[in-house]
Structure 1
């Protein structure tokens, strides 16, 4: 089914480009990057995001910072946005515009980056100045945790590659990233309020904010904390700091920060010395089981790049 979807996506874009290339003035008729999003229904949510985020003008014109006037865009499909619950343009209202603009620019880089330049171990600097890395997993190539499903779609002002997940980068450390959610600077409805309080009460904030410490962190949502018996934020604030520290350290892996695409082991040792068990890698995610969990945690938002690691938002507290 997925191969059929990707094939249809390719055919639709190729057909559109073929039609405009029949004109004798090919250079003038080739659609811009923004034009490709407008013309192809598989990118309708991206089109709406570009409008709301104010980047349509940027992606419609030549890049003033590149001699060839080119951008490269890793373009999330509608299905990629849907994985975040953003099923159409109207769903984008749950995002703060500044965050949406930054997220879109994180998918953009200067110059043409073609498929033959995308290889395991290479990196690409985004328009935000944050590097993204390329990862090979089997026969698939990923940019961070997003699979590249279509390459080298030519535009009048650059190159488009389609990806299957929206990439997210906060530009700040793990603690500040959680605060962005808590203070409604990303999603208009915060989801990590309990986690922020747990970090503060446990005394682990300096550790998780230290740029010398690079972690993979599994971040439980508010609903996850409630399911674990913390009914209110005050319950977390009044909990034993030593206990909270033990619980939180069970959510951190001192591995430098890994994206889902880089995770190949079935287990990991936590910063607290316990073991987490991972399911097999499926459709870009995996589940995580703590030693005293009977039901594994699912990923709600995977692969959030922070300045000192990677955060995956999950739907259960991982019990040590």
Structure 2
């Protein structure tokens, strides 16, 4: 059931602020790429478009639309900074094919105007899965990213600015984690400990998309989160495979470690949830039959705490869309 919401209105003041730094006359037409170049708050997007090789695409008419239009959900400089990407050089931390695919995930064929962004509806992208729209606290969100302004006009379409970079892997949760661990996303591998632990506990199939399988919300601890757990357990850090075996031995065996891993997975009513959809100050039941306590929703993020943790974990990379759910990368291992 779709619930219509009022149109997101953007006044002249918001449009003027969005185009701060534009030295050209207002009546001079600019393409989407031209708006990015002319707008100070899209500097990092411009740098990303150059490295990702999509400038020419966004500077010209869309050959796949009769009116030649694109619609772009454009991350601001602060959106990129959330991922530690503040300069053109920082973008080198991402593999170029992943960067290109990520940028194209922000692009829709045709004109998607602000009044079409309604709760419960979806929007197809040029590349990747459909995006979905939610409404929370008086703001509209696309996936877990807040829409800051709508309907900035360009000669080849419209721009809606957002406060987070949209991330979609185009693969299931297991394959996505493996891609991160083998440097297919970041040049530096990540989630290597999580993948090693899933393999040791024979849980990779559980998070692989199969016909009829459920959709999950997964809180994925970083490599540093596992290393911090190693330190807390007074274990030496060596290699991911050896270290997760050491953790298993220390906590009481592979079955106990498997329960810890399943404590990071939520299914059912709270499966497949972006940050904009997760309940705040509430507890969620995990596949380990334990509980996770969600903190307040603030600045588009929530903390999450296991019953065995003394402090909550923070989201490092939220809202990664996979084909069988959503992954939020966090900075702690959640203990049942």
TM-score range relative to shorter protein: over 0.9
Relative to structure 1, is the Cα distance of residues 304 and 35 closer, same or farther in structure 2, using a 3 angstrom cutoff? same
SS of 1:44's equivalent?
helix
Equivalents in 1 of 2:50, 2:71: separation in Å? 18
What's the counterpart of residue 249 of structure 1? Answer: 262
What's the counterpart of residue 219 of structure 1? Answer: 220
Equivalents in 1 of 2:256, 2:13: separation in Å? 51
Relative to structure 1, is the Cα distance of residues 13 and 276 closer, same or farther in structure 2, using a 3 angstrom cutoff? same
In the alignment, is residue 195 of structure 1 matched against residue 194 of structure 2? yes
Cα pair 1:106 1:128 within 8 Å, conserved: yes
What's the counterpart of residue 142 of structure 1? Answer: 141
Cα pair 1:203 1:241 within 8 Å, conserved: no
SS of 1:228's equivalent?
helix
Equivalents in 1 of 2:151, 2:324: separation in Å? 32
Equivalents in 1 of 2:41, 2:209: separation in Å? 41
Q: Deviations over 1:207-239 (max 9, x none)?
A: 111331210000000110111126331121453
Cα pair 1:10 1:150 within 8 Å, conserved: no
Relative to structure 1, is the Cα distance of residues 250 and 7 closer, same or farther in structure 2, using a 3 angstrom cutoff? farther
What's the counterpart of residue 281 of structure 1? Answer: 297
Cα pair 2:179 2:185 within 8 Å, conserved: yes
Cα pair 2:42 2:77 within 8 Å, conserved: yes
Q: What are structure 1's unaligned runs of at least 5 residues?
A: 1-5, 22-28
Q: How many residues align?
A: 308
Superposed, 1:5-44 pairs within 5 Å as 10-13=16-19, 16=22, 19-21=25-27, 29-44=28-43
Q: Deviations over 1:262-298 (max 9, x none)?
A: 0124110001110000110000001111001001100
Equivalents in 2 of 1:258, 1:319: separation in Å? 21
What's the counterpart of residue 102 of structure 1? Answer: 101
Equivalents in 2 of 1:284, 1:68: separation in Å? 35
Equivalents in 2 of 1:95, 1:142: separation in Å? 25
What TM-score do you get using the length of structure 1 for normalisation?
Answer: 0.93
SS of 2:19's equivalent?
helix
Q: Deviations over 1:101-143 (max 9, x none)?
A: 0000000000010110000000001111410000001210000
SS of 2:292's equivalent?
strand
Instruction: Supply the RMSD in Å over aligned alpha carbons.
Output: 1.8
Q: What are structure 2's unaligned runs of at least 5 residues?
A: 1-11
Cα pair 1:279 1:288 within 8 Å, conserved: yes
SS of 1:162's equivalent?
strand
Equivalents in 2 of 1:17, 1:156: separation in Å? 17
In the alignment, is residue 67 of structure 1 matched against residue 73 of structure 2? no
Equivalents in 1 of 2:118, 2:146: separation in Å? 13
Cα pair 1:149 1:161 within 8 Å, conserved: yes
In the alignment, is residue 297 of structure 1 matched against residue 305 of structure 2? no
Q: Deviations over 1:39-63 (max 9, x none)?
A: 0111000000000000000000000
Equivalents in 1 of 2:208, 2:277: separation in Å? 23
